[in-house]
Structure 1
Amino acid sequence: MEPLHKDSETAAAAAAVAAADPRGASSSGVVVQVREKKGPLRAAIPCMPFPVAVICLFLNTFVPGLGTFVSAFTVLCGARTDLPDRHVCCVFWLNIAAALIQVLTAIVMVGWIMSIFWGMDMVILAISQGYKDQGIPQQL
């Protein structure tokens, strides 16, 4: 049998502490941290300035994939992504691929919904980056 992953152990320890304390207060100091694992397409979403991210969300809402297509060019202009080990051209083409997927699947509404969520992720990344730049702790 394989050993449990560290995240599973932490979650199990937190569950044991919560079960042992009926008030819900944790006196043992166990901290549970959750990290989202992003796929390569999702990690390629660039962190843009807030106004640009809002424009991309607006474009994605009314023309699926257009905001994602525009955001691909921000990567060429120096926008950061969660793929620092990949070359800029590779991240650019990942964003173009995401835009094409959104356009081609918009006929069955999947691409349109994906496009709107993609735009919302752009805005969320812009807001969180703004907090990091100002040194304000995030409350999202």
Structure 2
Amino acid sequence: MEPLQKNAETAAVALAVADPQGASSSSGVVVQVREKKGPLRAAIPCMPFLVAVTCLFLNTFVPGLGTFVSAFTVLCGARTELPERHVCCVFWLNIAAALIQILTAIVMVGWIMSIFWGMDMVILASEWGMPYLDPAWMWE
């Protein structure tokens, strides 16, 4: 019974914080969702925006090629969501993702995965706000 009581208390506190006047409102609770990424997905490097768009373009027409190119940006200092792993490990995770995309492109799965991978690269580049052509962002 205790977990249910905690959930009710948490909901009551969240409602009180969202609406301090006490008026009941259905839009008063804020829910935050955080995606949990596996190591292969977390190894996608954050590159400058134009490089990410180029990798998306390459992945669209030759599955795995943009992912293969992005693996080398890790060796050049591109950040990933796996800071505790060594650069070589992250590099090989990206190479493995590229090989999976190339080998499964025959049955269309790899081609679709490759396009989504490229879209994730562009999303990461736009979210992290990397400069377009300035390589000095790596040493800041």
- TM-score tier (shorter): 0.7 to 0.9
Q: Give how far 1:34 is off.
A: 0.8
What is the rounded CA distance, in whole Å, between the counterparts of 2:11 and 2:98 in structure 1? 42
Large movers: runs of 4+ above 3 Å: none
Matched, 1:78 2:66: no
Gaps (5+ residues) in structure 2?
16-23, 131-140
The SS at the match of 2:129 is helix
Q: CA deviation at 1:128?
A: 0.3
**Whose Rg is larger?**
2
The whole-number CA distance in structure 1 between the counterparts of 2:70 and 2:27 is 44
The 5-angstrom pairing of residues 1-140 of structure 1 reads 9=7, 13=11, 21=24, 24-26=26-28, 30-130=29-129
**Which residue type is aligned with residue 126 of structure 2?**
I
Q: How many residues were matched structurally?
A: 120
Report how far residue 33 of structure 1 moved.
Answer: 1.1
Partner residue in 1 for 2:137 = none
C-alpha displacement at 1:25, in angstroms?
3.0
Q: Which residue in the other structure is 2:136 paired with?
A: none
**C-alpha displacement of 1:49:** 0.2
> What stretches of structure 1 of length at least 5 have no aligned partner?
132-140
Report the residue type matching 1:126 in the other structure: A
Please state whether the residue corresponding to 1:115 is helix, strand or coil.
helix
